Amino acid sequence: MNNQYDKIFLKKLQDCVINLDELDEIIETNGERQSKVDSEISDWLHRLQNHFEELKPNRVALANIAEKIAILRLERASLRNEFELIKRYKEVSRQMMTKDNREFVIAEIQKTMKNLNQPYKNRIINEEDIELVEAMTEKEKNQTVKKNKRKISAESQKLNDQIWELYRQGISQKEIGKLVGLTQPSVNVRIKKIKSQKEKVEVNG
């Protein structure tokens, strides 16, 4: 008995199963792969945050970390695109069982891909901001940092004055926190610091 055609049928079916298994693997692991990349990005950002003063003189190290974060962000964007394709595939996958609808499914996935490949639009920074930061010299950067520190210091002092005035009026720390937008422990720390400063002034005066 010649079983050529049933072997061909079985081979085609096996190929379909293999491809569907591979597709399911992509679908099932997308969330895990995204989470891994997100965690790695977070680790590098915290490396910058927690060791910035140590890394600041080493421009090569900063550039290398920035490059690493950029590569990971590109990978994350690709995984997010994959997620959107998976979501659309799940919405139309039932139609794969009907021959006449298979081209429609492919067209829908292609349309989704096209919509995903749109350039990112900045929400806040503009081209002038980018040029200023990327072309900033070490001297200009230091001047900007000092200016920002002075601004933060002035705003912090203004807040301390407000907190001290409310405290002198007998308002509770909890209520002061609500009025100025801080937690009670934060208010407590500021009041202790203000008291300490005032005590030093009185002793020296």
What token pair was written down for 9? 């049928």
- Residue 151 has a pLDDT of 63
- Residue 9 has a pLDDT of 78
- Residue 192 has a pLDDT of 87
By C-alpha distance, which of 60, 189, 140, 120 is closest to 176?
A: 189
- Residue 139 has a pLDDT of 62
- Residue 70 has a pLDDT of 93
DSSP-derived 3-state class of residue 170: coil
Which residues in the chain show pLDDT less than 70? 1-2, 133-152, 203-205
- Residue 140 has a pLDDT of 61
Q: Give the single-character DSSP code of 98.
A: S
DSSP-derived 3-state class of residue 68: helix
- Residue 83 has a pLDDT of 93
- Residue 184 has a pLDDT of 84
Question: How far apart (Å, rounded) are the C-alpha atoms in residues 49 and 152?
Answer: 18
- Residue 205 has a pLDDT of 58
By C-alpha distance, which of 191, 147, 184 is closest to 165?
A: 191
- Residue 73 has a pLDDT of 93
- Residue 145 has a pLDDT of 58
Strands (E), 36-120: none
Ordered by start, the domain boundaries in the chain are 12-119, 140-204
pTM greater than 0.75: no
- Residue 75 has a pLDDT of 93
